[in-house]
Structure 1
Amino acid sequence: MTDLAARNEHILVVDDDIRIRQMLIRYFEDEGYRVTAVGDGGAMRDCLQKTPVDVILLDLVLPGGEDGLMLARDVRSRSDVPIIMLTGRDDVVDRIVGLEIGADDYIPKPFHLREVLARLRTILRRRQPPVAAPSAEAQDVIHFDGWRLDLGRRQLVTADGTEIVLTTGEFDMLAALARYPGRVFSRDVLMDITHGRRLEAFDRTIDAQIARLRKKVERDPKQPALIKSVRGIGYVFTGRSAP
């Protein structure tokens, strides 16, 4: 995933039920994703030939003589794009076959949209190149806008030499952002860095931590100049680095 596309992945929905397609389009677009929705295998192939996708939500029962299992097998023979199977049939055999031919997950209908989102995020996160949390032994020092961030000593110091006390999570988050100025970090990536993917961590945890961090490093936390929000994606560090 590119820096600016940290939360703009392209989802391809393949389902013959127009109501489900419209529901998934609205929900995932509101979450910041790009969504294309089609009703059969032929339209799915046309889409895959024209544009890359990051994940496919594929219904098991489809019109036109090709079911989701056949389409999943065809896709997997040519691509490693993640596939989440959606089906109203509660058949264990179908589920096992779907996973054996390369589907990444299997969600029965009716489903809860938050569950689909959680499963999708988990799959996409696995494919994202990891961003390591700063090591305790790191000796890097980052200077920006008069601030001094010592990664080895885990200290943040102002221009006049005052040390600002940060929690472990606040320091790890600032370090990750400051090491890559201009890079847009999704909340999921920041969650991995600062919380180690703990189940109790979620988007609002990250937003609250950013808010606390802004109070310590921004002149005006309500008009941040160092850590800016990127609507629908996450956050970006815009501090001016110095040697």
Structure 2
Amino acid sequence: MKPTVLIVEDEREIAQLVQNMLETEGFACNTCRDGSDALRVIEALQPDLVILDLMLPGLDGLEICSRIRQQSLNKDPYILMLTARAEEIDRIIGLSTGADDYLTKPFSPRELVARVRALLRRSLRGEQSDPVIYQTKYFTVDVDHHSVQRHLPGQDTETLDLTSLEFKLLQTFLSHPGRAWSRTQLIDNLWGNDFFGDDRVVDTQVARLRKKIEVNPAQPQFIKTVQGVGYKFENEP
């Protein structure tokens, strides 16, 4: 089946250009011009990837991105955000809401197609052939069944609902508890040579994972920041 891409862009010419490019490359595309309509279309369509303009009528791209990440969707779509504003603060804000990549207008058609392909290849990588289970004092990660259970003292065992990226990140940490990982190493393990964009995507994914596995994300016990390096997982907090 063709990967499904939803283009949320209020400028008709840009939306048509992007759609033509991606359909030529073999993607199935739908378009939406209004921010409020976009959330309804996303829920109905369940796209593999959303190309999301920052400035939209109704709801803007940042709000849509944040709401997508809060919804319980069958698919957790990748989000490529488009904007005409290139300031660093906009990039940080965009990624902090859960965007996977960020492209500034005007953009190269080839670069857009390359980034879409790179994002989608992340989810199309083959699964490991042998069942793998990572067991620590407080967590059990079953790679084969894509399940994570948390066992905290005095509490019932809890099954955690993680996105594919959050799961891969936790799997990476638990594969070597106590090891300090740089952002570059985490990018290589999660996405390999397919990665395009800012390494702050790692910070965003770590923050999202902390919200789901930590008792108090503001004071993390398990995923610790290693100053000047990156992050590590504490097996015995």
TM-score (norm 2): 0.51
Task: Work out whether 1:40 is the aligned partner of 2:47.
Answer: no
CA distance in 1 between counterparts of 2:70 and 2:87 reads 24
CA distance in 1 between counterparts of 2:194 and 2:80 reads 23
Aligned-partner residue type, residue 80 of structure 2: I
CA gap of 1:49–1:114, structure 2 versus 1, over 3 A, is: same
Task: Work out whether 1:22 is the aligned partner of 2:16.
Answer: yes
- The aligned counterpart of 1:235 is none
How much is the aligned-residue C-alpha RMSD, in angstroms?
2.2
- The aligned counterpart of 2:138 is none
Matches within 5 A, 1:89-128: 89-128=85-124
CA gap of 1:44–1:92, structure 2 versus 1, over 3 A, is: same
Task: Work out whether 1:68 is the aligned partner of 2:61.
Answer: yes
CA distance in 1 between counterparts of 2:194 and 2:21 reads 25
Structure 2: state its 5+ residue gaps: 130-191, 196-237
Give the CA deviation at 1:103: 0.3
**3-state secondary structure, aligned to 2:5:** strand
Structure 1 ranges of 4+ moved more than 3 A: 196-199
What is the number of residues matched between the two proteins? 130
Aligned-partner residue type, residue 62 of structure 1: L
CA distance in 1 between counterparts of 2:115 and 2:103 reads 9
Give the CA deviation at 1:198: 9.0
CA gap of 1:198–1:121, structure 2 versus 1, over 3 A, is: closer
Larger radius of gyration: 1
Structure 1: state its 5+ residue gaps: 134-195, 200-243
CA contact (8 A) 2:50 2:80 kept: yes
Aligned-partner residue type, residue 68 of structure 1: G
CA distance in 2 between counterparts of 1:106 and 1:58 reads 9
Give the CA deviation at 1:129: 3.7
**3-state secondary structure, aligned to 1:114:** helix
CA distance in 2 between counterparts of 1:38 and 1:77 reads 20
Give the CA deviation at 1:120: 1.1
TM-score (norm 1): 0.50
CA distance in 2 between counterparts of 1:198 and 1:108 reads 19
Say which structure, 1 or 2, has more relative contact order (CA 8 Å, 6+ apart). Answer: 1
CA contact (8 A) 2:8 2:53 kept: yes
CA contact (8 A) 2:122 2:194 kept: no
Aligned-partner residue type, residue 59 of structure 1: D
Give the CA deviation at 1:68: 0.6
